[in-house]
Structure 1
Amino acid sequence: MQLPDYETLTLAADNGVLHATLNCPEARNAMNVAMVRELTELAGFANDQAAVRALVIRGAAGNFCAGGDIKDMARIRQADGSGDPAADYNRGFGTMLTALSRTRAAVVAVLEGAVLGGGFGLACISDVAIAHKDAKFGLPETGLGLPPAQIAPFVVARIGLTQARRLGVCGGRFDGEEARRLGLVHFCEPDDAALASRLDETLGQIRRCAPNANAITKALMLRVGNEELEPLLDDAARQFSECVRSDEGKEGTAAFIEKRLPGWAE
């Protein structure tokens, strides 16, 4: 698999896992225009690669992501020309978050240091979130005179309306353990070794699941609450039937009967 060459991201592939590191350490990996664009492109790349079963996102130099790049915001505010560049810039965040959320691959976020603003949003779209206990989470936008415009819907979907409202209007700051209590992250680990061990365990669990079944399951769950239930259940039944007859379904059933690992888990 030929990996793309990005300006703000470093990529590595290993046994069905694509590791993406946000790599602007001088800005605590704050998202500039280039990073938002490249993360959006990364979602498409991961979605198109059948070999990619998990996408791990983390940040360089001990920070996940400190939010949006304030310097970029200032430049856009001063930009001349037609249209609304500030709205276009902001909307790009939502496009990126949606694209990553909808990838076929399981998205795993490893959260250390600053997890603020846009980084908070990235945590909210992950399928599995693993935090260091000393990670610093927050929605600082309102303290800058801005709303967390594109992030807010994903925060509500992740932790529920009442907690999201509290964090939104208080500019909430909290650590990894509070993030776990809120349901923002699934695991909170006490040190780097435990964080690495939890990531290895999670990736092992993902590798034991059938890739296409995982992708279908994720897509079905993302539709819940956005569509009428009965048509969704009808569609789910059709997909179940297709999976039963698929090579993946046949292999999974055979492996169970023969008391062995299926081919995708070996």
Structure 2
Amino acid sequence: MRLPNTDTLLVNQDGPVLHITLNRPDSRNAMSLAMVNELMALFEAVKDNRDIRAIVLRGAGGHFCAGGDIKDMAGARQQAAAGDSDAYVALNRRFGEMITAANQQPQVVITVLEGAVLGGGFGLACISDVAIASRDATFGLPETGLGVIPAQIAPFVVQRIGLTQARRLALTGLRFKGEEAQRLGIVHEVVDSSELDNALAQTLATVRRCAPNANRVTKQLVLKVGHEPMDSLLDQAARDFADAVNGEEGQEGTMAFVQKRPASWNQ
């Protein structure tokens, strides 16, 4: 499989796992438009690849992501001054397109969070299927303190932790650490920085025990909750269940259970 070339990301495929590292350490991996576009290209390139079962997002240099790139804001300001009234809209909406793609990615998306997890980085944490954080990571939505709004991020924060807590975080710009992020439901596991790699390895081992297509269909199902009528959703879920039982994975999973051995996909 040929992956897109990237300048702001380090990309490495390790068997069924695609590791993507945000690689702008001098700016604490602030998310530039170039980075947004490169992430979107990668997500699109692997979307239908059944051999890739998990995507790991992390940051270089001890930080995950400190938010949006101020230089892009300055560039949009120049475009607006030159008569492009939609420059800010296009810039902001592009990030929303990327985070939507990440949210809907068929693979299991895992974030490894340390250092700054702010703004756009906070948004990526909120769409991940599994979020592992360092105890001393710093989370927050600083936008309102800068006179702007978390426009593309806020809806995903509400989905992640509920309206009450999302309002508090967005309207105060509160900064907090990993254990509070876990209490709020933003992250699933909090460890010391030295244990991040071990925690990731354990999570990837659990993902490998799950059948690849069953995971894809299950993720699609849970993402539809609240967006489709329950009866039609359950009707489709029953059809998907029947397909799974009669499919190769269902047959292999049942046989592996009976024979007390790992399933063929557990590798």
TM-score, structure 2 normalization: 0.97
Q: Does 1:55 align with 2:55?
A: yes
**Partner Cα distance (1:29, 1:191) in 2:** 18
Q: Does 1:14 align with 2:14?
A: yes
Q: Deviations over 1:167-202 (max 9, x none)?
A: 01100100111101111000110232x211110000
Deviation at 1:204, TM superposition (A): 0.1
Q: Deviations over 1:66-94 (max 9, x none)?
A: 00001111110121244501101101111
**Partner Cα distance (2:159, 2:45) in 1:** 25
Contact 2:3 2:42 in 1 (8 A): no
| Amino acid aligned to 1:84 | D
| Amino acid aligned to 1:245 | N
TM-score, structure 1 normalization: 0.97
Contact 2:253 2:263 in 1 (8 A): yes
Unaligned runs of 5+ residues in structure 2 are none
How many residues are aligned here? Answer: 265
What residue is the counterpart of 1:106 in the other structure? 108
What residue is the counterpart of 1:197 in the other structure? 198
Deviation at 1:2, TM superposition (A): 2.9
Deviation at 1:16, TM superposition (A): 0.5
Q: CA RMSD in A?
A: 1.0
Contact 1:121 1:151 in 2 (8 A): yes
What residue is the counterpart of 2:132 in the other structure? 130
Contact 2:119 2:141 in 1 (8 A): yes
Deviation at 1:15, TM superposition (A): 2.1
What residue is the counterpart of 1:253 in the other structure? 254
Deviation at 1:249, TM superposition (A): 1.2
What residue is the counterpart of 2:223 in the other structure? 222
What residue is the counterpart of 1:88 in the other structure? 90
Contact 1:97 1:122 in 2 (8 A): yes
Contact 2:114 2:193 in 1 (8 A): no
| Amino acid aligned to 2:156 | F
**Partner Cα distance (1:143, 1:48) in 2:** 40
Match 1:143 to one of 140, 145, 158: 145
**Partner Cα distance (2:206, 2:3) in 1:** 24
Q: Deviations over 1:198-242 (max 9, x none)?
A: 100000000000000001111100110111100000011111111
Q: Deviations over 1:21-69 (max 9, x none)?
A: 0001111100111001111112112212111100000000000000000
What residue is the counterpart of 2:245 in the other structure? 244
**Partner Cα distance (2:246, 2:200) in 1:** 33
What residue is the counterpart of 2:263 in the other structure? 262
| Amino acid aligned to 2:70 | I
| Amino acid aligned to 2:101 | A
Report SS of the residue matched to 1:13.
Answer: strand
What residue is the counterpart of 2:120 in the other structure? 118
**Partner Cα distance (2:252, 2:219) in 1:** 21
What residue is the counterpart of 1:179 in the other structure? 181
Report SS of the residue matched to 2:95.
Answer: helix
Contact 1:46 1:55 in 2 (8 A): no
Contact 2:4 2:41 in 1 (8 A): no
What residue is the counterpart of 1:46 in the other structure? 46
| Amino acid aligned to 1:62 | G
| Amino acid aligned to 1:60 | A
**Partner Cα distance (2:192, 2:59) in 1:** 18
